[in-house]
Structure 1
C-alpha cells in the first residue's frame, strides 16, 4: 500500500508526477485546504505538504498522529513550528536549491528598477500629464561602479553577488561570520561590520532569514547610517525591515529609494507605500516563475522520496 501524502495546496500535477507514482497524494479540489479541513483529515497521513503561506502550528501537529514528515514548499520555514515538530519526532524539510536563481533574479531586477526609476517612468507615462523629458529631469542612479552591500551572504546572497559582479559592482557583505576565503575571492567580496555595510553601501540587499536576531535589523537607527542616495532592497522576509521607519525615510527622501518583495503583514501592504514614487513593490514573487515553481515542487517530491529511501533531504530541524 502506498504511503499517504496530504497536499495543502492544489499544486500543478506535472512536477508531482514522480511523487504520485510512488505515493497516494490527496489535493484540495481548488485553491488550498483551510485549517479546519486539515484538522479533520490529517490524522490518516504520514506526510504533509504546506505552502509557505500556511502556518503548521502545534494544534495541527498534535492532531497528526501518524505524521512523519512536513515537506515545506518554500525555503523559509517560519510558517512551521519546526521545533515542536522535532519534539514529536516529525522531520521538516524545505526547498533551498530551487529558489536560488529566481530569487536572485528578482533581487537584481529590483536594483535596476529602483535605481533607473523604471516603475516611476512607467507610471507617469501612463497619466494624462505625463512627465518632463528634460535633459536632467527625474534622473536615476547608475549601477556600474557602485558598491552593493549584502546582508546575509548565503547561497542567495552569493547568487545576487554573481549578477552584481557582472554588472561592474563592488561587493561588501555582513554575516554572522565571514565566508570561506575562496568564496570571497570568487566575488572579490569583503567582509565588513554591519555599521560599515550601512555607511559604505550604495545599494543594500537584505538576504537573511527571519530570526529573532534579524527582526527589524533595518530600523530607524540603521537607516540613519545609510548614504543619502542609498537604495534598500528586501527579498528575504518582511520582518527584517521596520516598515514605519522605512516609510518615514522614503517620505523625507532620507534615502533614494527601496525595492520590496516582502512585507511585515503579508498579504496586506501598508497603504502608505502605495502612494510613494520612490519604492517599487512586488507581491512576494521571488520564485514566481513557471520554472521556479515547478523546480520547487520537484524538490518537495525529492525530499519526500528520499526521506523514505534513505537519500539526502534538506532537513531543517
Structure 2
C-alpha cells in the first residue's frame, strides 16, 4: 500500500488511519462464553466510539475457525492455548488465522469437581473410572466444537476409562446450572472448568491433576490470544492496532464476569462500569489508535464513556 510505504514519515497515529472502507464493519465471533461476552462487548463499545460498526455473531468454535478462513469473521478474542492450537493447527499452518495479541495470561482450563467430590477421592483424571458409577459415566462439557479433548479422551479410553462414558455437550450456562444443582444435592459431578470465571469465586471447586495429555501442564495452564483473519492487518491496520493493544488480566475479567453472572448486569453495562473504573486501561488500549476519520482515539472513547 502507498500509505504504508510512507508511514515512516507520518506521526504514529496517522500510520493507522488508512483502514479500507470495508473495515468500518468489524465482525467478531461470540461463543456464548461470559469471558468473551465481556471482552467482545468492551471492544464493541470502544470501536463504536471510534466510528466503526462492530457486530457479534454467536458461533460454535469450529464454525468460528471456518468462518475466519472463509472471510466471514474478522476477529476472535478466545483462542485458548495450547488446546486450540493443537485442535485447529491447520488454520494456523495455512495462515487462515493470525495471532495479533496475547490478551490474557494466567488462565487455566481442565476438568474440575466440587470440593466435596475432590475430598471424596476424585483428585485426578486417573481416578475417573474408579468413581464411574457415582458420576453416571458422564463428563459435563460446554458448546460443541469446544470439547474435542474430552471426546478424544473418551473415544481412546484414556486414563483407564471403560464402559459407555458420555461427554454431555450443552452451553456454559446449562453446564453451570447442572453443577450448581448437583452441588446443592451433594451429588457427584465432573465438568469442564476454567479461570477466569466467577465459578472460582462463587463455588468451592478443585481442578483434577494428570490431564496434561488433554489440556497441557499446570492444570491446563493457558494463555488466551486474539486472532484476526488472513489479510486483515494489511486491510485494517488501525483496527488491528487496537486489538493488538487490547490486553486484560485475571482480576479484571473475574470482576467484570461476576457483574454479569452474579449481579445480573447486561454485558454492555458491565463493560462500561469496568472501563470507567479503570481508565488507565484505555490509555494502553488506544495507544496509536485513531478514529475511523483519523482523529485521536483515546479522546473520542473517553468522551463517549464520560471519563475526564
Q: Which has the higher contact order (CA 8 A, sep 6+)?
A: 2
**Both proteins in one fold, TM over 0.5:** no
Using structure 1 for the length normalisation, give the TM-score. Answer: 0.32
Bigger strand fraction: 2
